[in-house]
Structure 1
Amino acid sequence: MDVYIRDRHASVTLPEKSYPCVVLERDNWNDYAYYTLFKAQLRLAPGFGLGSVKNLGDVKIMKPNQAEGVDNRPFQKLGSGDRIPTRLLRDVCSLGSGSDYYDKLMQVEMDLAQALLSTLRDCSYLPAVRQRFQSDQCFKISLLRDSEARVLLDTAGARFGGGSTLISSFSAAIKLEGASAAHEFAFDFESLDGVPRRMHSIVGLNGVGKTQVMARLAILLSRFSKQAIKEKRSALQSDDSISPVPSIYSVVAVSFSAFDEFERPTQLQGEEFQYSYCGLQHPQGRLKTKDDLLKEIRAVLVRDMTQDKRDLLKRVLQNLVRVDDLESFVEEPENNKKMYQRLSAGQRLAINCIIHIISRIRPRTLILFDEPELHLHPQLLTGLLQALNEVLEHQDSFSIVATHSPLVIQQLPKECVHVIRRDRMTPMVVKPTFQTFGESVSEITRFVFASPDTDRDYRAVLERMLDDDGGDVEAVRQRFGGQLSLNADMYLESLRTAKDA
């Protein structure tokens, strides 16, 4: 299929033998200095009658390693009315700028639509094109500028018999201030042999950068950054990077810390970027009160909850907290004040959290949860994690949890645990050397949180006691009334064995 280029509002005369063909009109709109936008017109026959011309609308087209600036726009050196050489078309990537583009293509004969998609090298239709371009900065910033574009990339081509691939693994490199190198993460949410990987965890000692990493991940995956908006640039135009862009269409940030660093969008910004924040920080700068949290629950249940989501909420809440009348609590929020007041502070936070997540989640959402263990006792924490896992499974979504709790890590396979360490100013991200799923809390704590310079846990106490008692293990046991825990007793035995060897 021949393709012709023209300047904006210019008319072109086409050779008789060209039909059907495509005419691309240059558009001077740019995405943060990347010029990729064209208006596509399918010419079916000479003339401009209803059956002769099909205006398809906006399509974005880029070339490999395209740099910023209008001079780097594809086909820029061609004159208005020129036919685009086949060799140039073989080296581009395109994606419709909205669903209308593909809807209009569906109105023409299928073989003609397929020919057009192939000629323009549509990356939603041709997986090999997507594979080639998906790590290109222009591709990520311009072609995938908004959430709708990321959905179209995964779904539009399948309407025409093309390949459809969901990306559930990606790498992220995050350079924190003062660090000599970037934190480098590899997240893979694809289940393996039935082992769940929908939830990953970032763990480490205080001061290694977990909270900052979570805030940066929220920016990279939602594209929402107040600083970037102020500077009129893309949030991806920074020292941080993500590759390839995963099939994640919305982001929910959750934190009950008074010191989290997540961006807080306005309602309009949240809708534009498909990003929402749930936490203790009030928009007016203070911490939310108990009444604030109750009002949020009521507002969400009344305004933002479909019946399907209400049913999901009731299913997960019954395993999370005890409420006298769960049906009334969910379906009649104006009457739930007394029930809410009888809940503990931790239960209120857990309920607020799960209600907000369910109200905002849709397929392929990423939940970024910073320190869920705050204010929650261990049983409530594991209940919240189970509820979150059920919601993720129901909505084909994912979560990254930053935590200090070995109970969180205990629920995850080692492939999903990312341990941040720091050697002076050099950051490292490592995986556990043992299977964390179901492992003892003490073993997890020893690997993740123990510091070789300041290791003053129960083992150091046992070593000192054994020294004081002249190596008499039984004397140490008697100090605890003969009731040492299994882990402590095994360690004591290991000290005797080492001494006798």
Structure 2
Amino acid sequence: MDIFIRNRRVSVSLPDATYPCLVLQRDGWNDFAYYTLFQAQLRLASGFGPDNVKELGDVRIMKLDQGEGIENRPFQGLESGDRIEPNLLRDVCSLGGPKYYEALLEVGVSLAQGVLSTLRDSSFLPAVRERFQSSQCFKISLLRDSEARVLLDTAGAQFGGGSSLVSSFSAAIRLDGASAAHEFSFDFDSLQGVPRRMHSIVGLNGVGKTQVMARLAILLSRFSKQAIKENRSALQSGDSISPVPSIYSVVAVSFSAFDEFEQPTQLQGEKFQYSYCGLQRPRGRLKSKSDLLNEMRAILADDLPQEKRELLKRVLRNLVRVDDLDAFVDKPESNAKMYERLSAGQRLAVNCIFHIISRIRPRSLILFDEPELHLHPQLLTGLLQALNEVLADQDSFSIVATHSPLVIQQLPKECVHVIRRDRMTPMVVKPTFQTFGESVSEITRFVFASPDGDRDYRTILERMFNEAGGDTEFVRSRFDGQLSLNADMYLQSLLAAKNLQR
């Protein structure tokens, strides 16, 4: 199929033998200095009647490794009316808007396939997507908004093409003062039936977990107040993500009074498909107990779809015990005492589940910073179970930053990312053993090991063992003969080591 280029307000005459053909009109719009926008017109026959011309609408077209600036726009060297030679199309990639694909459906699948193939549509041709998806121009311009990310995954399938959803990606995040970036690889696809929808970031205080979570929120939602102020993309920074995963919305959750998540306005949240649930108010004040209750009531009063109400009832069984769960969800104003009887921890846990369910959509990412704060262990595991049920129901994912070995105990080792730092050199490592179901003591020893040495029960046992001259029975008697299995095994290892030295 032939393609012709034209400038705005300039008509072009075409040879009769070229029909059907495409005419691309240049547009002066840019996406943060990347010029990719064109208006596409399908010419079916000579003349300008509705049967001869089909307006396809906006389509973004980029060159391989395209840089910023209008001088780098595709086909920039051609004059208005010129035919685009096939060799200029070999290294381009395109992605349209919603109206573009709707218009192509109206002209018939066969003709639409010709258009998509000629313009090397990234939603229709998997090999093209694979080749271009790590380019900055592709990520910043072609995938500027969440709607484009959905179209990349879904539009091509309407015409017999398309590729698999992207559920794995890498992120490089360089914190202030660090000599290198933290490098993460997240893969949310199940492995031999083992679910991997939830990942965790763990480590000692001061290694940067909270900052990493805040940066991930920016990379995946594109919402950054500083970027908006500077009129740039949130991806135009020292951090990077590749490829752009099939994630269409982000929910940031924190129980900390010191989290670093950005807080959008309602309009910003709708534009970026990003929401915040936490204790902080926009101006720094903390929410009260009544604020949390009012937020829950507001969510239930805001026409929450019936299917989400049923999901909410199912998962709340992990968090609260009330006589009438239907009334708890369906009639909050008539059952105020049930809400008042919730403990402080329950109010936090229930509030965050209410918020997540109200905002989640398929292919969402929940970024949860330190869920263990203010929760006793049983409520924490109940919250994790509730979150896992929501993720499975909504085909969504979560990254949890935590200090709790109870969280790690619920996850396979592939989903655990341990942050360590040697002075200012950051490291991200994986456990060397299977964390799922492992003892809390072993998880704590590996994940939260300090470079200054362990300061746990083993240090105390070793001191007592040495003071007793290696008499293990004497040490056991100090604990009334009730040492745990882990402690007793460590005591035996001290004795075995001493015997080998003889």
State the match for 2:25 in structure 1.
Answer: 25
State the match for 2:9 in structure 1.
Answer: 9
The one-letter code sitting in structure 2 at the alignment partner of 1:395 is: Q
Equivalent positions of 1:132-171 (< 5 A) are: 132-171=131-170
Deviation at 1:452, TM superposition (A): 3.6
Deviation at 1:283, TM superposition (A): 2.5
State the match for 1:249 in structure 2.
Answer: 248
Contact 1:304–1:359, Cα closer than 8 Å, also in 2: no
State the match for 2:48 in structure 1.
Answer: 48
The one-letter code sitting in structure 1 at the alignment partner of 2:31 is: D
The one-letter code sitting in structure 1 at the alignment partner of 2:10 is: A
Q: Secondary structure at the match of 1:10?
A: coil
State the match for 2:487 in structure 1.
Answer: 488
Equivalent positions of 1:368-387 (< 5 A) are: 368-387=367-386
What is the distance in 2 between the residues matched to 1:364 and 1:39?
30
What is the distance in 1 between the residues matched to 2:14 and 2:129?
31
Map Cα deviations across residues 292-321 of structure 1 (whole Å, 9 max, x no partner): 001100111111511110000001112321
State the match for 1:64 in structure 2.
Answer: 64
Equivalent positions of 1:351-370 (< 5 A) are: 351-370=350-369
Stretches of structure 1 that go unaligned for 5 or more consecutive residues are none
Q: Secondary structure at the match of 1:106?
A: helix
The one-letter code sitting in structure 1 at the alignment partner of 2:422 is: D
Deviation at 1:192, TM superposition (A): 0.9
The one-letter code sitting in structure 1 at the alignment partner of 2:424 is: M
State the match for 2:439 in structure 1.
Answer: 440
Stretches of structure 2 that go unaligned for 5 or more consecutive residues are none
Deviates more, 1:297-306 or 1:198-207: 297-306
Q: Secondary structure at the match of 2:59?
A: strand
Equivalent positions of 1:270-349 (< 5 A) are: 270-303=269-302, 305-349=304-348
Deviates more, 1:23-32 or 1:106-115: 106-115
State the match for 1:88 in structure 2.
Answer: 88
Deviation at 1:73, TM superposition (A): 0.2
The one-letter code sitting in structure 1 at the alignment partner of 2:18 is: S
Contact 1:324–1:339, Cα closer than 8 Å, also in 2: no
Deviation at 1:337, TM superposition (A): 2.1
The one-letter code sitting in structure 1 at the alignment partner of 2:236 is: Q
What is the distance in 1 between the residues matched to 2:230 and 2:283?
24
Equivalent positions of 1:119-138 (< 5 A) are: 119-138=118-137
Deviation at 1:109, TM superposition (A): 2.1
What is the distance in 2 between the residues matched to 1:481 and 1:65?
71
The one-letter code sitting in structure 1 at the alignment partner of 2:78 is: L
Deviation at 1:164, TM superposition (A): 2.6
What is the distance in 2 between the residues matched to 1:418 and 1:20?
54
Contact 1:254–1:368, Cα closer than 8 Å, also in 2: yes
Deviates more, 1:54-63 or 1:275-284: 275-284
What is the distance in 1 between the residues matched to 2:400 and 2:490?
31
What is the distance in 1 between the residues matched to 2:4 and 2:43?
10
State the match for 1:191 in structure 2.
Answer: 190
The one-letter code sitting in structure 2 at the alignment partner of 1:353 is: C
How many pairs are equivalent? 500
What is the distance in 1 between the residues matched to 2:235 and 2:252?
18
Equivalent positions of 1:360-439 (< 5 A) are: 360-439=359-438
What is the distance in 1 between the residues matched to 2:233 and 2:408?
34
Contact 2:445–2:454, Cα closer than 8 Å, also in 1: no
Q: Secondary structure at the match of 1:155?
A: helix
State the match for 2:468 in structure 1.
Answer: 469
The one-letter code sitting in structure 2 at the alignment partner of 1:379 is: Q
State the match for 1:78 in structure 2.
Answer: 78
Map Cα deviations across residues 176-219 of structure 1 (whole Å, 9 max, x no partner): 00000000000000001100000000000000000000000000
What is the distance in 1 between the residues matched to 2:70 and 2:293?
52
What is the distance in 1 between the residues matched to 2:71 and 2:90?
20
Deviation at 1:347, TM superposition (A): 0.6
What is the distance in 1 between the residues matched to 2:268 and 2:413?
36
Identity of aligned residues (%): 80
Map Cα deviations across residues 89-132 of structure 1 (whole Å, 9 max, x no partner): 12100000x21110110001211100000000000000000000
What is the distance in 1 between the residues matched to 2:229 and 2:108?
46
Deviation at 1:175, TM superposition (A): 0.4
The one-letter code sitting in structure 2 at the alignment partner of 1:84 is: I
